[in-house]
Amino acid sequence: MIKFENVSKKYPDGTVAVDSLTFEIQQGEFVVLIGPSGCGKTTTLKMINRLIPLTDGTIFLDGKKISEYDIHELRWNIGYVLQQIALFPHMTIEENIAIVPELKKWGRDKIKQRISELMEMVGLDYETYATRKPSELSGGQQQRVGVIRALAADPGIILMDEPFSALDPISREKLQDELLSLKKSLRKTTVFVTHDMQEALKLADRICIMKDGKIVQIGTPHQLITSPANDFVKEFVGGNSEKSVIDIKLEDLLQPVKGNEVEKTSSAKVSVSTPMQEIMENLSQHEQLAIEKDGDLIGYIDRKTVMKHLSTILEKGG
């Protein structure tokens, strides 16, 4: 879906912001770019929709060079969410969300239906909020609008540049949970920039850790935690994180069976006696695992619960 081939960004003063990146993001994948300030993660993000021109190399979208797309066509198919929400203050919430669908000449009824559906998905009642101005919403509510505005015209790709970093911890966690739900239901190809490793572990299918414009390691949360490429990755992910994973107990994560829910939603089953290391490896491939004991289903664990539990451990220092 998105392919970087020896991509670099160099400025006239000699600064190398991004240095020969080569990697791919698959369709429907949620990839988080993370690293210290100045590592090149935001520059990498902005080169995808040509907000920043690359110096060398090539970026492909669906096998076509981004330079070959009409700039409007390119950006209409890429939703973009910023830390600075950038809603138009003089426009209503409905008008803000409708901008790109209107540019793409969608019909009025189709636009209204799409806006109503998206607002309901993030807990904003259409009748209550559609005609309000941004100043009448809280910061968290405004950021919800920013997210669904990016989704309004059903783009193939979503770019998110530290979208929750300015929010208070409670609003941030709630929006992360809502984004996880959207991720599961919409399966949009998403590139998400953050400086918060707990946020990355919670949200990502794969995490790309950058330093000095280069990729240090890219892999699933499980791979980074259990097999860090070097001491930098180990410290960045959370120091004693490998021990933390091993020390996680299945009973802390197990959720009870509700009817035949697990049978319907799980594509993998493991025994209650399976080592946690193996369970974590399975969760890198499946959103949810059914847990069996003596051939009977006793409950399930899912990736979201594990990552949230792990984030709590890392926050407390492992």
239: phi > 0 → left, psi -120 to 50 → alpha, else beta; which? left
Say if strands 64-65 and 78-82 run parallel, antiparallel, or are unpaired.
unpaired
What does the pLDDT read at residue 66?
Answer: 96
DSSP string, 83-117: SS----TTS-HHHHHTHHHHHTT--HHHHHHHHHH
Domains in the chain with CATH codes: 2-237 (3.40.50.300), 242-315 (3.10.580.10)
Query: Long-range contacts for 235-241 (Cβ within 8 Å, ≥24 apart)?
Result: 236/34, 236/35, 236/197, 236/209, 237/197, 237/201, 237/209, 237/314, 238/197, 238/314, 238/318, 239/317, 239/318, 240/317, 240/318, 241/310, 241/314, 241/318
Q: Each residue's pLDDT tens digit in the chain (318 positions)?
A: 899 999 999 999 999 999 999 999 999 999 999 999 999 999 999 999 999 999 999 999 999 999 999 998 899 899 999 877 789 999 999 999 999 999 899 999 999 999 999 999 888 999 999 999 999 999 889 999 999 999 999 999 999 999 988 888 888 888 888 888 888 888 899 999 999 998 999 899 999 999 999 999 999 998 898 889 999 998 888 754 444 454 567 777 888 776 555 455 556 888 887 777 778 778 777 788 888 877 788 888 888 787 777 766 666 554
- Give the global pTM: 0.76
Task: In whole angstroms, give the CA distance from residue 272 to residue 294.
Answer: 9
Residue 214 and residue 16 in contact, taking contact as beta carbons nearer than 8 Å: no
CA-CA distance, 143 to 152, in Å (whole number)?
14
